[in-house]
Amino acid sequence: FTTSLLLGTTMTISSNHWIMAWAGLEINTLAILPMISKSHHPRAIEAATKYFLTQATASALLLFSSMINAWQTGQWDITQLTNPTSCLILTSAIAMKLGLVPFHFWFPEVLQGTPLTTGLLLSTLMKFPPITLLYMTSPSLNPTVLTFMAILSTALGGWMGLNQTQIRKILAFSSISHLGWMTIIISYNPKLTLLNFYLYALMTTATFLTLNSTKTSKLSTLMTTWTKAPALNAALLLTLLSLAGLPPLTGFLPKWLIIQELTKQDMA
């Protein structure tokens, strides 16, 4: 399954042809499903079903959008997306793949029903192929739609995360919020989106691995773990603050650069 995951991701990020990109995304989805439902717990099965349905719909939309484009222009090149209808359908397909507002409902639910290690894969590796597709097609997409979705994602990710006690759900909303930051800048400076994604993946990996080693899934248990591993918990605190984007820490850097770029574009 791990090999299939890597194969699917590599196929999508290195493809020029829409069919290859779609095939890579499908391999990815099918490889992660057994990992989500491995525990045979009803919550895990529910999470796997929700994940499968959303990803299958998003993949179908992606294929549909590329077919419309190929029908109009006669080419399957990812960078040559010119048809306005297919651009709009592709935007919604990628938003569904990533879990951007208004297609975000599945993500916290799925993450809550999975083990922490699989949750880590869902939050980082599984987001990489759609982000790559967004990066490659960003010059063709409508910046107004992207900005609107991004602002909603950032706001909603922040607000909904406040009301949670389950750590995986908080991390899911954090992911939605970060994706909002990535989406808003992609039309103006796509390299910043990738920088933001790499740093987000790094910090999320650190958080998930720490939580996994302390066997923590709720905020109430997190309060008592500091006695077992004080140094690890101090590191976790710093990582979480960095993930929140607090100034002297690494997580603040992409936000600072994005705000700077947006002011240059008269957006902020």
Non-local CB neighbours of 176 within 8 Å, separated by 6+ positions: 99, 100, 101, 104, 107, 153, 156, 157, 160
Residue 44 contacts residue 113 (beta carbons within 8 Å) = yes
Residue 190 contacts residue 138 (beta carbons within 8 Å) = yes
Where do the structural domains in the chain lie, given as residue ranges? 1-264
Residue-level pLDDT at 268 = 66
Q: Which residues of the chain have pLDDT under 50?
A: none
pLDDT tens per residue across span 21-74: 999 999 999 999 999 999 999 999 999 999 999 999 999 999 999 999 999 999
- For the record, the structure tokens of 3 come out as 């090999």
pLDDT tens per residue across span 198-214: 999 999 999 999 999 99
